[in-house]
Amino acid sequence: MIALLIVLAVLGSPRSAAAQARGQAPPPRPAQGARPQPARPQPPADTYFVNTLAPADMQNKQAVLETSMGTIVLDLLPDAAPNHVAHFITRAREGAYDGTIFHRVILNGIIQGGDPLSKDPAQSARYGTGGMRELRFERNGEPMTRGAVAAVLAPNMPDSGGSQFFICIFDQPAITGQYTVFGRVAEGLNVAQKISQAPAENTVPNERVVIRTVTIRDKAAPGPEPFSTETADELSRYRAVLETSLGNITFQFFPDKAPNHVRNFLRLASVGFYDGTAFHRVVKGFVIQGGFLPTRGEPLDITQDRYVRKMAPEFNDTAHDKGTVSLAHGDDPASGDTSFFIVLARTPVLDGKYSAFGRVVDGMDVVEKIEQVPVTGETPANRIELRKVTVSRVP
């Protein structure tokens, strides 16, 4: 207290006579009503990301996200959003995404991740606030369609993007143009959809869905579609084994009769389209039918979806005898795509009206078991699972 009083006394003492003699007049009295002016604050340093990558270093790049629920591969789009792509590549190479989580999910809508705070479970109350305000908005014409990858923004702040991103599970046309799309899912959209379906409370997953690593790689040059270059003789050497819940069935193919249908079936089988479908129709003495898309238990991946296409008919002189495999279609003969049927007895009415492309060479006893299952109308009372289709080549 004594020291404080001394200081106050010194600061509050009147000017000395010597000071007055030197003409050091006191400071002028403020004008009536004037207010002291505070010092003008300096603007904050610009924290926006600065790209140091050359354009050539961003072209034809993919990001591989290894998650606790599977792998998601992104095609990056530097022509649409160069700064966002450079930022994502830079942060990925720094390991910024490794150990983060998808902290927000909307069922079959979007999944959101990339918040650096989400590495720490103790910061859960702040998830969604980290890694923002690093990127200025880059407007582009990329539609917000299924598989689009875009930067997360704070409400009404277009220049607030950063490390956080979201993936569209299905088309979101209402938000096209409002977010910077900088990538698209090339593989693993089914994984992203499963993440969106994770049990959650108010969009927060009950369990941590971890992004274990994110790596950047060169995108492979596009090659020919599977089974698009083989000759008819080469295609004839392939077999398909259908693993069903009642046993295995093996197909042989007729590429000399219906080459495009053979290629179509082998292509779909090779990418796992038929895995997890079912034999959904049983008509005793007529056909059993499977491969129908709505019977599939898992969502399609991007590649699988790409190969689902309508088939122009290839009617031929193959008789629809017992064991013949043919493509199903609706009223339009060119409406067939994935669903096939196996004939249970000689059925001339199908000849020339459906494209026969193969036959059962092993497992006809399994076909007969399926024929005998209880049905309601034409629908099996219990699901007959087509667990997996394996393609192999015989000598």
Give tens-digit pLDDT for 342-363.
999 999 999 999 999 999 999 9
Here the tokens at position 132 are: 């923002």
pTM above 0.85, yes or no: no
Query: Measured in whole angstroms, how far is the alpha carbon of residue 293 from the centre of its chain?
Result: 19
Pick from 8-12, 106-110, 273-277, 316-320: least confident: 8-12
Neighbours of 89 (CB within 10 A): 20
Handedness of CA 266, 270, 271, 274 (dihedral sign): positive
Q: Which of 370, 393, 367 is nearest to 382 (CA)?
A: 370
Confidence band, pLDDT 50/70/90 cuts, at residue 299: confident
What is the CB-side half-sphere exposure of residue 329 using CA atoms within 13 A?
Answer: 22
Say how far apart CA 216 and CA 78 lie, in whole Å: 14
Say how far apart CA 134 and CA 159 lie, in whole Å: 8
| Residues 280, 289 contacting (CB under 8 angstroms) | yes
Say how far apart CA 240 and CA 265 lie, in whole Å: 9
Q: What is the pLDDT of residues 160-209, one digit of tens each?
A: 999 999 999 999 999 999 999 999 999 999 999 999 999 999 999 999 99
Residues, the chain: 395
Here the tokens at position 144 are: 């917000």
| Residues 345, 285 contacting (CB under 8 angstroms) | yes
